[in-house]
Structure 1
Amino acid sequence: MRGVDPKDVVRRGYDAISHAYRADDADEGGYAPWIRGLRRRLPARGTVLDLGCGCGIPVARALSEAGHAVTGVDLSEVQIQRARTLVPRATFRTADATEAEFPAASFDAVVCLYALIHMPLSEQPVLLRRIATWLRPDGWFLASGGHQAWTGTEDDWLGAGATMWWSHADTATYRTWIIQAGLVVTDEEFVPEDESGHSLFWARRPATATTP
Structure 2
Amino acid sequence: MDDPKRIVARGYDEAAERHAAWALRTRTAERLAYTRLVLDVIEPGARVLELGCGAGGPTSRMLAERHRLVGVDLSWRSLRIARREIPSAAWVQADMARFGAAPASVDAVVAFYSIIHLPREEHAGLFREIARWLRPGGWFVASFGTRDAPGHVEDGWLGVRMYSSSHAAQTTERLLRQAGFRIQRSRVETEDEDGQPVPFLWIVART
TM-score by length of 2: 0.92
Greater fraction of residues in helix: 2
Question: Is 2:152 the partner of 1:152?
Answer: yes
Indicate the SS of the match to 1:22. helix
Matches within 5 A, 1:55-134: 55-65=55-65, 67-134=66-133
Matches within 5 A, 1:1-212: 1=1, 4-23=2-21, 26=24, 29-30=28-29, 31-65=31-65, 67-150=66-149, 151-158=151-158, 160=159, 162-193=160-191, 194-205=196-207
How many residue pairs end up in the alignment? 200
Q: CA offset at residue 60 of structure 1?
A: 1.5
TM-score by length of 1: 0.90
Q: CA offset at residue 26 of structure 1?
A: 3.0
Q: Distance in 1 between matches of 2:54 and 2:103?
A: 24
Which range moves more in the overlay, 45-54 or 25-34?
A: 25-34
- Give 1:209's aligned residue: none
Cα deviation code 1:85-143 (max 9, x no counterpart): 11110000000011111000111100011111111111111010000010011110001
Which range moves more in the overlay, 79-88 or 16-25?
A: 16-25
Say what the alpha-carbon RMSD is for the aligned residues: 1.6
